[in-house]
Amino acid sequence: MFLPDLLKGKRILITGGGTGLGKSMGKRFVELGAELVICGRRQQVLEETAWELMAGAPGPVSWQVCDIRDAAAVEAMIDRIWAARPLDALVNNAAGNFIARSETLSPRAVDAVLGIVLHGSAYCTLACGRRWLAEGRKANVLSIVTTYAWTGSAYVVPSAMAKAGVLALTRSLAVEWGPRGIRLNAIAPGPFPTQGAWERLVPRADLAKEFESRNVLGRVGDHRELADLATFLVSDRSGYITGEVVTIDGGEWLKGAGQFNFLDRLTDDEWEAMRPKKG
């Protein structure tokens, strides 16, 4: 299904598209014909990524410096983007996160994460949605959440709260806007190594190994695997999917959830000894 012109004619904004998973999704979208806009707070990062994705030649990638916590700045950015040409899809990818014992969190620390993830995603979604509805344009929103949006997680509580909210936004608007041609879906990734996540969330080398391998498949995700899933979900090929969250985590959260999953530690001899004896 990943034909070279799969996303031809589609104009897509990826928030936080200058780094990490946002950059990897952007690279794949451009390969498949999309016109890409990336945004973030750091101009130099955006500029370097845009040139890298265009392989050093002018092309279909542009950037907007924007702090998505600021609703007025988001409106102004979306106005500038629309002035050139309307978007066909929005990827809510920008995030902020860190680990902390929750009792030590200051109000500003809570706000820092909720502001980026929950409010920023809402501002971007509403700014685009309003325009799409007014124009009667078919479009879609893809939000990058996490599996702890529904399981919750210790030590990343503001992020868990915010991602749960983004999932609620996805499901709510899928129903409200679906009849008017707008689909909203989400992806819940497991561990995909990025500098932004690893330097904030993985405090020790021995814990990194555990974080990277304690899933059914025993490995981290490859950025290309996530980029291909995102491509499918923003493309017209997923036209009958809305309000859905697709997990791509090597079975990580299910492995943590099943009551008897810990029995993977039993030896072959122990399993054999438990089998009923014949005769």
Catalytic residues: 148
Task: Give dist(CA 215, CA 218) in Å, integer.
Answer: 5
In the chain, beta strands by DSSP E? 11-15, 35-40, 61-65, 89-92, 139-144, 182-189, 245-248
List the alpha helices (DSSP H) in 54-203: 71-84, 107-114, 120-135, 148-151, 157-177, 195-201
Residue 26 binds which entry of ligand NAP, ligand HXC, none, with Cβ cut-offs from 5 to 8 Å by kind? none
Contacts of 142 (CB under 8 A, 6+ apart): 89, 90, 91, 92, 184, 185, 186, 187, 230, 233, 234
Q: What is the contact mask toward ligand HXC in residues 40 to 79, using x (rule: CB under 6 A)?
A: ----------------------------------------
Nearest to 87 by CA among 74, 105, 100, 104: 74
**Which of 44, 57, 72, 108 lies at the binding interface for ligand HXC (CB under 6 A)?**
108
Residue ranges in contact with ligand NAP by CB under 6 A: 15-16, 18-22, 39-42, 45, 66-69, 93-96, 116, 120, 144, 146, 189, 191-192, 194, 196-197
Residue of 64, 92, 97, 231 interacting with ligand HXC (CB under 6 A): 97
53 binds, among ligand NAP, ligand HXC, none (CB under 5 to 8 A by kind): none
Residue showing the smallest CB distance to ligand HXC in the complex: 96
With respect to ligand NAP, which residue has the nearer C-beta, 31 or 67?
67
Give the type of residue at 268: D
Tell me 117's DSSP state.
Answer: I
**C-beta closer to ligand HXC: residue 115 or 129:** 115
Partner whose binding site includes residue 112, from ligand HXC, ligand NAP, none (CB under 5 to 8 Å by kind):
ligand HXC
Nearer to ligand HXC, 109 or 126 (CB): 109
Position 146 contacts ligand HXC (CB under 6 A): yes
**3-class SS at 141?**
strand
Amino acid letter at 9?
Answer: G
Residue 243 contact partner, candidates ligand NAP, ligand HXC, none, CB within 5 to 8 A by sort of partner:
none
Return left, alpha or beta for 10; rule: phi > 0 is left, psi -120 to 50 is alpha, else beta.
Answer: beta
Side chain identity at residue 83, one-letter code: A
Cβ proximity to ligand HXC, 34 vs 113, nearer residue: 113
> In the complex, which residues of this chain contact ligand HXC (CB under 6 A)?
95-98, 100, 106, 108-109, 112-113, 146, 159, 191, 196-197, 200-201
